[in-house]
Structures are given as C-alpha cells and as structure tokens.
Structure 1
Amino acid sequence: MSFDLLKPSRRQFLAGSAAFGAAGLAGLRPAFAAVDWKKYAGTTLEVNLIKSPRGDTLQKYQKEFEELTGIKVNAEQTPEQQQRQKAVIELTSGKPSFDVIHVSYHVQKRQFEKAGWLADLGPFLKNPELTDPSLVESDFAAAGLAFAKDKNGRFGALPFSVDYWIVYWNRDLFAAKGLEYPKTFEEMVKAAETITDADNNISGFVARGAKNANVPVWTSFLLGHGKSPVGADGSLQTDSAEAIEAAALYQRLMTKSAPRGVTGFNWAECQSAFLQGKVGMWLDGVGFAPPLENPQKSRVVGKVGYGVMPKGPAAQASATFGDGIGVTEASAKKEAAYLYCQWAISKEMGARLLQAGAGVPFRNSILGDAKVREGVTMPGSWVDCVAQSAPISQLGLPVIIPVTEFRDIIGVGLTNLLGGADPAAEMKKATEAFKPVLARSEAQ
C-alpha cells in the first residue's frame, strides 16, 4: 500500500472529509415556532456565497428554509478569490446585487467594518419576534464574537464556521519515551526534542515552514505570550519582546525537532509526514483530522491524540480563523435576510455542517449536544478538543485590511529563521517593512 498523499486544495480536502456520520437529527430542529418565520413570505433574497462545503450545505437544504418562510432564495456560490473581488466591486458601488453575503472574517473583517458594508444585526438579535430564544451571544465562542463585533460593539455578521488550531500528537511515540501530553510551551519543546531521533527518521514536531503559510504557527505562540500582532490601539507588536520570544520558539522547534526540508512545508506536507507515524506533534487546524483515522491513508489510526494548545508564558490560546454570514447595509430586505442568516447558523444546520465534515460551528451548544455526537465517526477526543478550544479561542491573524501582505512580509522573516537568522533582527526588519503598508491601508 502506498501512503503517499495527493495534495488537494484546502476546499477539495474539506469537501471530501467525512468527520461525522449520518447521526439522526431528531430533537435538533430549533424551536422555530418562537419566530414569525412567515412574516416576509413572498420576498425574494439574493445570497452571495463562497464556493465551499459550507456553501454546498446551505444550498443543499435551501428548500427547507423556503418552505419554513415562504421566502424565495437565489443563492450563488463563487470561488473564494473571485467572490471577494465581486463583493468589493459591488459593495463599493453602493448597489450590490445581493442581500446576504458570506464573509471570510480573518481576511475581510476590517475592510467591511471600515466601509460600513454590513448591517448591524444587534437589534435583530434582541428582537424576540425575529430571533429564536436559543440564539444568544453567550452561545458563541469568544473568537466568534470578536470576529462579529467591531470595537463599538456593532454586530456585523453572524459567526458561521470556525477553524481552531490544535496539536495532533502520536500517542505511541510519546509512550515510548514515557511522556505525557505537554501542558506548557516549555514542556512542548522538551517533548519534541526528546522524541526526535534523527537516526530513525523520527521528528518531534512539525508545522508549516513555507512563507505566508507559516505565520499562523508563529501567531499561535505569540498569543500564548499574551500579545496579538496588532495592539488594540492599532500599533504593530510584531517586534515586541514577546513577538521575538515567539519567533525564537518557532525557530527552535522547527530547526531542532522538525523533518528535513520543513522550510517548504505547507499543511499538506505536514499532514503527510504525520500520517507516516514519524512525527510526535503537528500544530495546525482541526479540519485536517479525518485522514488520520483512515486506514487507507494513515499509519497512525487509533494512535492519534487531539490536544488543546498548551499554555504559553502568559496565556493559553487557540489561534482561530472563521467565516460569518451577514446582511448588506444596502439591502432593502434586511429582516428577511436576517432570517436566512439565522437559519444558516441554526443548531440543525450546524449539526449538518459537522456531520458532513463541512465545518465546525461557532455555537458551543451544537458541539456539546449529545445527539450531534452520537454519529461522530472521529474519536470523541477530537470533539472534546474542539469544544475545549472554544473558550480559549483568539484571532489568529490581525484585524487589518492588508492581511495577505502581512503574511507575506512576516512570513519571509520566519522562513529566514529556519536558515539560522537572528529572531530579533528578522522580526524588527519585517515590522519596519510592513509599517508603511499598514499605514497606507488605514489612511485610505
């Protein structure tokens, strides 16, 4: 049997993943009776979705929403990059062709807030005639609320699907060295170096080394040092003492305990290495789990632990990415559009996302529901890890417009570290290079 993996795109990977079985949804249907769902019967909504498993799920069950509300939905899915371009062009015109939009929070949050393109859903959430009683802010993971709200508390889009970063760990390799799962960054480093055995081609740790892709690995460590890349006042913290310490930690793990050639690794290469059973720990998003339990692809079936991110010197945090679904400020059908958004993130639809392997809901009540868990084909420890990551979730990228440029510039510095460069020098150089880019974006 060959264990070499094809390297599909992230969207193809997620579309093919089947983390959850076909658990029955009996009892999961929301208490829709509390809302006057027929209030806008006869209305037609235009919905702009990102081409993804989440978009597929919404379209697959769209008729149920139409039957529930009497609202006609015209939903269009567009590939991610094209969807973002289309959204900006149309929203800038002031006359978008859509009432509902699927938003990539970690890329578009600041841009949408600054332009005022999304309607404030706060008043709708507080309206018992429009909102099911189970939909309350406290049910969202902390990162979901951070994504959804601006600094003034304005609620711009409902949190839809989340990607928490966790640690996949090989229980057999840990047991062979008499190790337990690390609780702190310090223990993580020690475990990685203890497990590493170059003579037998065993590495203690793997994560993304390729520029741009590597930035969330570093931010995962930065958050544990109690800092974010950009402070609350908008100032860059990428050359702070904590940022340099996080970079030094990244350098140590990736040069002393990672596989050869890790400088060129993105998630697919990391996953492939872990599947071979030669890696102790792999830090990445929760969505890459299903192949690890697939005997056709994996040599670690039944050996994988799913660990919550260990504590850093100042905090325990799971770097988090996600998307939302909101109503355009320009829409003349805001309340009807809000009903669609509410349906999209309902408990029933969230359960379906999980069961299709299409995403992880931001709502804690879905992850903790026994009826959802009944059909889980992944180990229960995976679901436990997801649920335990929610309370410590923090944004994995800064809320700025030039996110891609940020990842490119900081990513070059991090890649240089793998060649032996000085962490302080690289972080200061990258920070100086990015400052004018950020300043220009804020001045526009």
Structure 2
Amino acid sequence: MCLFFLAGCFGPRSGTSASPPFNWRQFEGTTLRVLLSQSHWQQVIAPHLPEFEKRTGIRLAIEAYPQGELWDVLETGLAQPGQVDVYMTVPGLDGLRFLRAGGIQPVNDYLRDRTLTAPDYHWEDFLPQTRAAMEVEGAILGPPVMAEHLALLYRKDLFTQYQIAVPRTLDELEAAARLLHKKPMAKNGTPGVGLVSRGNGTAATSLYAAVLHAMGGTWLDAGRRPTINGPQGLAALERLGRLLGSYAPPNVSDFGWQEASALFLEGGAAMYIEGSSIYPILEQTATSRVAGKVGYAVFPSGPGGSGTTIAVRGLAIARQSENPKAAWLFLQWASSPEMVRRALVAGILVGRQSAWRDRSARGEIPADLGRSFQEAGHIGTPDWAPPLVAVTAAREAVGKAIEAAIRGEDVRAAADAAARRLTEILDTTEGRESHPAPAPPRSGQAGPS
C-alpha cells in the first residue's frame, strides 16, 4: 500500500479539555492577500467570499491570474515578508520547489490544534490520495480544492456493438485497441483509431507515469536516481510505444490535449486517455458527437498494480505571511464540507467523500465518472509528474524518450539518454545548495490533463 495513505493520519490534537474553544472571529480585523489561479473553482467560490468575511471579520484581498502569470507573481511575492498570505498551488508541479525554497508554511501543526481547526472540519473526510497529493516530504501543504484522475474514456456504443468488456488491465487495453482500430466509428462510418492520447513529449509524461506505476515502477529510486532505463521504466516505454505507435493516429507524437480531444469529440477514436476534468467538453451535445456515449473508468492496472494517477490543485499558506493562522481559517472555510459541496454541485471533481455521498450534490456528473474518480482517490498515485524541483526540464527529458518509443526507435538508447539528462538535472538543481532552484513551468497547463 502506498505510504502516501499516511498523509491523513494524526495523533490527538494538542490541548486539553480546558483549551479555549475554536473561534472563527479570533483574527478579526486582519486582511489577507489571496492569490488564485483563474479556474472554474475560483469562479464558483467568488460569490461566497463575503460569507467568509462576515463570519470571521477578516478582509480578503483576492487576485486571480492565469496559471503562468500566478507563478510569475509568486516568484517574487513569496520571497518578501508580508506580501502573500494564501495562494493556489499545483503540488505536482510547484510543491517541491516552493517547499524547499521556504515558500510554504506547512499546516501539520494547525490541523492538530483545537483552537485553530474547527471541530467539524474533518481532514480525514478527504479521499486518502487527494490528501497524499497535498503532502510533500512529510509537509502537508494545505487542503485540495479540485482534483482529477487519469481516466480511460471509452465509447460505450462501440464496446456494446463489439461485445468488449471495459479494460481493467494493460493487456486488456491493448487487446481492445487492437480489435477496435480502423473499425467504422466516425461520421458516415469512417474508420477510426483504437486509442488516442497526448503523444507530444512533455504532454505525454502523465501517461508514461500511469504505465510506469502499473509496471510497478517509480520515477526515482530510494536514492533519488532516475529509473527510466531500469526494467520497469523500459517496460513502460515499450508498452506506451506499442499502444500509441500501433493503435493511435500516425502523427500522435504531435498531439497535445487539444488535438487528442478534437479527434475523440468527432468520433474518430474508440478510447481516449485523459484527465477526467475534461468531461464537460465531451458531454456538450452542441459540440460533441460522442455526448452521452462516453464511459469513464480508471486507468488500467498492470503487473505492478494500479496505474491510475490523481492530481490536485490546493491552497497553501506563504511562509513569509504575517498572518499564517488567520490564513489557515480561510483555507478551512474554502475547503469546508459546505464549500466543497457547492463546488461539486457546479461540476467540479472534489476530494471530500461526504460530498460524493450526497446524491443531490452530484448534479450532471456521469455516475461512472464519479465512481472511477473516487476509486482513484483510494488507489491512485499522486506522482503524475516527475518529483523533481526542476520538473519542467525533467518532463522534457522524459518526453524525448516517449517520442522515440512511439516512433519505433531504439528504446534502450533513448532511455539511457533520458537517464543521463535527469541525472544532470538532479545534480545541478538538487545536488548542491549553491545552485538556485529553477522557476516553475511557464505553461498555463497545470495538471495531468
């Protein structure tokens, strides 16, 4: 069982029966600067922010940026005392960097403190692996507010027509792709492909991660050395190369999520591997030829176990904040059962199990999507991106090996080259303190999707 499951395990909270009770207004008069990325969640929470101010007496100064611009603002803001109180984090991309650079105030102790954490907050209510995704090197960065899993999206009509069971293993996935490849499936019976996904370098690393974990591998070994040219890493590259090289479009190595989703929306692929938060696009009847025909399942397992990954965005407290405890009240409110339920009603995939148990909150989220997401929340791995400080450079190095595998080139040579480059990156950015940590990724795309 993944050790990340321990992320939500705490001993008794500090304090005794004589401890002061929790008080939402204990930091009345404080002003918090909160930096968020522009997202569906940010739009959902915005109308309710006055409720927090009324409850606590804390004033909020909210700023929302595209993800790339947010990283730019944080680059300077987190280094200056009192400039930032709360910000949105994508832990798979920026968590390790910000933590090691001293930009995050962990909330481990706050969660144990009866005077700081509301009695009805219930940290253990979050799905175990959404909690794990918010933990880096033992530090809990904050609560997750939105999430997704790497999902297998499939055409229910085609699977029924050809009497194929939903793949639960990599072997079954490959067999289904082989059977459905070039079968009539698009408009006017045009043949389609068995499978589509991102195949373009960096964009394909989240799919490689899923295959790697299904093979029983990890990005790095216990000594933080690259494993891409080890047995599981090679097996993952070979499997991925075979799947996309044989049953996806010939030019799949040029595909990002836009190209892959466009083909699936037009009905040109039987299966699509993508982050589950894409589901609203697939179900829009005005623009999608497959609306109402899509099934949702976790990414298949392999000889090493589960392959599905889980990714989150969450809230963190700046280490240089002058009001970290007041900031913790905002994090609690924003991720409270009430606010998480509102997010789920709006169609956002959320981490709280209590929200999913409320059938009236699920809205138009497909039932099998909800089930597969919750399954991933228990068995998935948060390591959808390389756990390196220089994550962008690491993804680029792995992406070159993926493209070589898809093109049918020498996988061993490509993996060896990637391992050498990853070692250089680790030595340069993590080997000595004299080397500054690189900036987070500049792209606005921030998820496994």
What TM-score, normalized to structure 2? 0.86
For the Cα contact (< 8 Å) 2:143–2:335, is it kept in 1?
yes
Range 84-93 or range 286-295, more displaced:
84-93
Provide the rounded CA distance (Å) in 2 between the counterparts of 1:236 and 1:207: 25
Alignment partner, residue 178 of structure 2: 193
Change (3 A) 1:162 1:232: farther
Letter of the 1:364 partner, please give it.
Q
Answer yes or no: is 1:318 the counterpart of 2:308.
yes
Provide the rounded CA distance (Å) in 1 between the counterparts of 2:139 and 2:399: 32
Letter of the 1:435 partner, please give it.
T
2:420 aligned residue (432, 438, 443):
432
Alignment partner, residue 382 of structure 1: 369
Change (3 A) 1:113 1:213: same
Range 187-196 or range 123-132, more displaced:
123-132
- How far off its partner does 1:96 sit? 4.3
- How far off its partner does 1:121 sit? 1.0
For the Cα contact (< 8 Å) 1:215–1:410, is it kept in 2?
yes
Provide the rounded CA distance (Å) in 2 between the counterparts of 1:191 and 1:35: 55
Provide the rounded CA distance (Å) in 2 between the counterparts of 1:332 and 1:291: 41
Provide the rounded CA distance (Å) in 1 between the counterparts of 2:283 and 2:36: 31
- How far off its partner does 1:371 sit? 3.0
For the Cα contact (< 8 Å) 1:207–1:283, is it kept in 2?
yes
Provide the rounded CA distance (Å) in 2 between the counterparts of 1:164 and 1:44: 35
Provide the rounded CA distance (Å) in 1 between the counterparts of 2:183 and 2:165: 21
- How far off its partner does 1:91 sit? 2.1
Letter of the 1:394 partner, please give it.
T
| SS of equivalent to 1:306 | strand
Letter of the 1:164 partner, please give it.
H
Alignment partner, residue 29 of structure 2: 42
Answer yes or no: is 1:372 the counterpart of 2:357.
no
For the Cα contact (< 8 Å) 1:109–1:400, is it kept in 2?
no
Letter of the 1:121 partner, please give it.
V
| SS of equivalent to 1:361 | coil
Provide the rounded CA distance (Å) in 2 between the counterparts of 1:299 and 1:79: 30
Provide the rounded CA distance (Å) in 1 between the counterparts of 2:117 and 2:273: 38
Matches within 5 A, 1:195-344: 195-197=180-182, 200-344=190-334
Provide the rounded CA distance (Å) in 2 between the counterparts of 1:398 and 1:420: 24
Answer yes or no: is 1:164 the counterpart of 2:149.
yes
Letter of the 2:131 partner, please give it.
L
| SS of equivalent to 2:401 | helix
Alignment partner, residue 63 of structure 2: 76
For the Cα contact (< 8 Å) 2:89–2:314, is it kept in 1?
yes
Provide the rounded CA distance (Å) in 2 between the counterparts of 1:284 and 1:304: 13
Letter of the 2:397 partner, please give it.
I
- How far off its partner does 1:405 sit? 0.8
| SS of equivalent to 2:369 | helix
For the Cα contact (< 8 Å) 2:121–2:337, is it kept in 1?
no
- How far off its partner does 1:49 sit? 1.4
Alignment partner, residue 135 of structure 1: 121
Range 199-208 or range 70-79, more displaced:
199-208
Alignment partner, residue 352 of structure 2: 363
Post-superposition Cα deviations, 1:154-202, rounded to whole Å, max 9, x if no partner, equal 3222222212111101112122222110111111101110111268522
Provide the rounded CA distance (Å) in 2 between the counterparts of 1:314 and 1:377: 34
Alignment partner, residue 30 of structure 1: none
- How far off its partner does 1:71 sit? 0.7
- How far off its partner does 1:338 sit? 0.3
Letter of the 1:269 partner, please give it.
E
| SS of equivalent to 1:191 | helix
Alignment partner, residue 441 of structure 2: none
Range 198-207 or range 166-175, more displaced:
198-207
Change (3 A) 1:83 1:301: closer
1:401 aligned residue (381, 389, 395):
389
For the Cα contact (< 8 Å) 2:208–2:240, is it kept in 1?
yes
Identity of aligned residues (%): 27
| SS of equivalent to 1:284 | strand
| SS of equivalent to 2:194 | strand
Provide the rounded CA distance (Å) in 2 between the counterparts of 1:117 and 1:377: 38
Provide the rounded CA distance (Å) in 1 between the counterparts of 2:300 and 2:283: 23
Alignment partner, residue 400 of structure 2: 412
What TM-score, normalized to structure 1? 0.87
Change (3 A) 1:40 1:401: same
- How far off its partner does 1:60 sit? 2.5
For the Cα contact (< 8 Å) 2:149–2:308, is it kept in 1?
yes
Alignment partner, residue 57 of structure 1: 44
Provide the rounded CA distance (Å) in 1 between the counterparts of 2:142 and 2:204: 28
Range 194-203 or range 265-274, more displaced:
194-203
Provide the rounded CA distance (Å) in 2 between the counterparts of 1:300 and 1:426: 37
Alignment partner, residue 3 of structure 2: none
Tell me how many residue pairs correspond in the alignment: 406
- How far off its partner does 1:379 sit? 2.2
Answer yes or no: is 1:146 the counterpart of 2:132.
yes
For the Cα contact (< 8 Å) 1:45–1:71, is it kept in 2?
yes
For the Cα contact (< 8 Å) 1:109–1:147, is it kept in 2?
no
- How far off its partner does 1:406 sit? 1.1
Provide the rounded CA distance (Å) in 2 between the counterparts of 1:229 and 1:336: 37
- How far off its partner does 1:434 sit? 2.3
Provide the rounded CA distance (Å) in 2 between the counterparts of 1:143 and 1:194: 34
The gaps in structure 2 that reach 5 residues or longer are: 1-20, 185-189, 436-449
Answer yes or no: is 1:423 the counterpart of 2:408.
no
Post-superposition Cα deviations, 1:218-254, rounded to whole Å, max 9, x if no partner, equal 1110011122212343221121111111111111111
